[in-house]
Amino acid sequence: MTAPPTLPVHMQRNGFDPVPVLAELRDGKGIERIRTAFGMQAWLVTRFADVREVLSDPVRFSNARLQEAGRPPGLPPVTPEERARQLAGNLLAADPPDHTRLRRMLTPEFTVRRMRRLEPRIREIVHEHLDAMERHGPPADLLAEFALPVPSLVICELLGVPYADRAAFQERTHRQLDLRVPMEDRLEAGKESRAYMAELVARAQAEPGEDMLGMLVREHGHDLTADELAGIASLLLIAGHETTANMLGLGTLALLRHPAQLAIVRDEPDRVDSAVEELLRWLTIVHTGTAKMATVDTEIARQPIAAGDLVMCALPTANRDPELRTDPDRLDVTRGGVGHVAFGHGVHHCLGAPLARMEMKIGFPALLQRFPGLAEVPGTATFRSFSIIYGLTSLQVTW
Amino acid sequence: MKGDLVAGVEVHADRDVCIGAGLCVLTAGAVFDQDDDGIVVVLDEHPADVVAARDAVANCPSGALSLTEE
């Protein structure tokens, strides 16, 4: 058994903020050798410009070759067949041109225009959950009643995953992303997820529906193996509910603690685009995204990096870089723009970003308008630290 | 909008490099669109709103967009 890890520095936060030591690193040397959650050494890149440089160069910094770094210490070996199955269809473990091939099959489902067509249905889902929360009455757990179910239902409908299965897949996702869970169990959760998804893929192959799984089978059924289909769908399911849920939960808490900002989101519809971008920048719930491997001897922030070294990008410090925004630690929803790296950058820039934006643009104002007196129950908000994706474990609200 | 201080620009898009993130459409919807496959289409090669065009080029995640000063 591997011992539960201590929280590595790049995942440490002080409430909504990156810990001071990370900001000091960014404003000083800019890069430091750190120990990852899996016990390996990696370079942590912290400045906005350097992060963009690493993320936009898949030739020098490879996602696929990360596998060559070997398995984290203390783990049983896996057969090459099992390894291949684990990686099939995982866009985050691919480089161009493989990545481009997979991603291009999915882009039609995530265009800005396609998202506009989804808007009425997302609005309906949001209002149904607000109705339920109102019926439930205060106090209510915002995460359980609103922040988690809304994106879960949206991604389930979009992908073609039965919503009734949510309790099981949400439990597996938590296990996969929670660093306190021993690595063997996290890998086991990943295996269970793929087995579940393989079943849905087989069903879609027999009878493709109008959802995304059906589309992939109909239009790309000959180009994709069943393992690839299951891998793509697993990634979209995890990324589709876990990220937006934490943005909705943490974003609501941030607004409740900044009442003037909350009033703008609630009362000024023209500002909502800017508010969502600012919340994304300020909260940056994905600590680093996928680690990369340097493919050649190179240099970042004047630091020589050897071919084979691991490189990680600290997205929260990059988004709080004074080079990106003046007074970057202040939350100001009137000044948001798309230049941040909360969705990453480069070819792996979040595929689901347009969907996430749409859910937040509808979700935040609808919640705040329905419950103008929304307030946190003091002492109930718990930050979730030991996870690949930052957020809250609970937030009791009243109104 | 062309004046002495604001030079015109010409925007270019490399459709082979584009990953369909759609940030260009969000940033400069009058200049860029996405086709049915999600790949960038240039609507206006010589945009009047140079600031928005520059912003879209700077924020393109895949580096598919570029711009030349005229």
Query: What tokens does A351 get?
Result: 């595929």
Whether the CA torsion A333, A110, A245, A163 is positive or negative: it is positive
Contact yes or no for A112 and B34 at CB 8 A: yes
3 state SS of A295: coil
**pLDDT band, very low/low/confident/very high, at B3 (cuts 50, 70, 90):** very low
How confident is the model over A384-399, as a mean pLDDT? 94
Enter the pTM of the model.
Answer: 0.95
pLDDT exceeds cutoff 80 at A190: yes
DSSP letters spanning A320-386: T-TTTSSSTTS--GGG--TTS-TT--GGGS-TTHHHHHHHHHHHHHHHHHH-TT-EE-TT--EEE-S
Chain B residues with beta carbon closer than 8 angstroms to that of A349: 19, 21, 23, 61-62
pLDDT exceeds cutoff 80 at B6: no
Contact yes or no for A107 and B23 at CB 8 A: no
Contact yes or no for B22 and A104 at CB 8 A: no
Question: Is the confidence metric ipTM above 0.85 for this complex?
Answer: yes
User: Searching chain B, which residue's CA lies closest to the CA of residue A358?
Assistant: B26
Cβ of residue B64 closer than 8 Å to a chain A Cβ? no
pLDDT exceeds cutoff 90 at A184: no
In chain A, % of residues over pLDDT 90: 80
Contact yes or no for B37 and A108 at CB 8 A: yes
Q: Residue A198: which domain range?
A: 9-71+96-398
Q: Work out how many domains chain A is built from and give that number.
A: 1
Residue with tokens 């480089």, as numbered in its chain: A95
CA–CA separation, A344 vs A140, rounded Å?
A: 33
Poorest-confidence range of A266-275, A370-379, B2-11?
B2-11
Kindly state the DSSP code that residue A159 receives in the 8-state scheme.
Answer: H
Domain CATH number, residue A327: 1.10.630.10
Q: Is residue A34 part of a domain?
A: yes
Chain B residues with beta carbon closer than 8 angstroms to that of A342: none
Contact yes or no for B61 and A113 at CB 8 A: no
Contact yes or no for A112 and B27 at CB 8 A: no
Contact yes or no for A347 and B22 at CB 8 A: no
Chain B residues with beta carbon closer than 8 angstroms to that of A281: none
pLDDT tens digits for A14-25? 999 999 999 999
Cβ of residue B23 closer than 8 Å to a chain A Cβ? yes
How close is the nearest chain B Cα to the Cα of A99, in Å? 10
pLDDT exceeds cutoff 70 at A139: yes
Q: Which of A91, A276, A338 to mutate to test the interface with B (most CBs of B within 10 A)?
A: A338
SS3 content of chain A, % helix, strand, coil (to 5): 55, 10, 30
Q: Is residue A186 part of a domain?
A: yes
Q: Which of A348, A349, A350 to mutate to test the interface with B (most CBs of B within 10 A)?
A: A349
The 3-state secondary structure of A212-279, one letter per residue: HHHHHHHHHCCCCCHHHHHHHHHHHHHHHHHHHHHHHHHHHHHHHCCHHHHHHHHHCHHHHHHHHHHH
Q: Which of B24, B33, B34 to mutate to test the interface with A (most CBs of A within 10 A)?
A: B34
Q: Is residue A1 part of a domain?
A: no
Cβ of residue B58 closer than 8 Å to a chain A Cβ? yes
How close is the nearest chain A Cα to the Cα of B7, in Å? 23
Q: Is residue A82 part of a domain?
A: no
CA–CA separation, A357 vs A247, rounded Å?
A: 10
pLDDT tens digits for A204-233? 999 999 999 999 999 999 999 999 999 999
**pLDDT band, very low/low/confident/very high, at A4 (cuts 50, 70, 90):** low
pLDDT tens digits for A68-97? 877 766 677 778 888 888 889 999 999 999
Q: Is residue A79 part of a domain?
A: no
Q: Is residue A119 part of a domain?
A: yes
Question: What does the mean pLDDT of chain A come to?
Answer: 93
Q: Is residue A340 part of a domain?
A: yes
pLDDT exceeds cutoff 90 at A284: yes
Q: Residue A255: name the closest of A138, A395, A119 by CA.
A: A395
Which residues, in sequence order, are CB contacts of A313 under 8 Å at separation 6+?
A44, A45, A51, A54, A55, A288, A289, A341
pLDDT tens digits for B22-39? 999 999 999 999 999 999
User: Searching chain B, which residue's CA lies closest to the CA of residue A105?
Assistant: B37
Q: Is residue A90 part of a domain?
A: no
How close is the nearest chain A Cα to the Cα of B10, in Å? 21
pLDDT tens digits for A41-61? 999 999 999 999 999 999 999
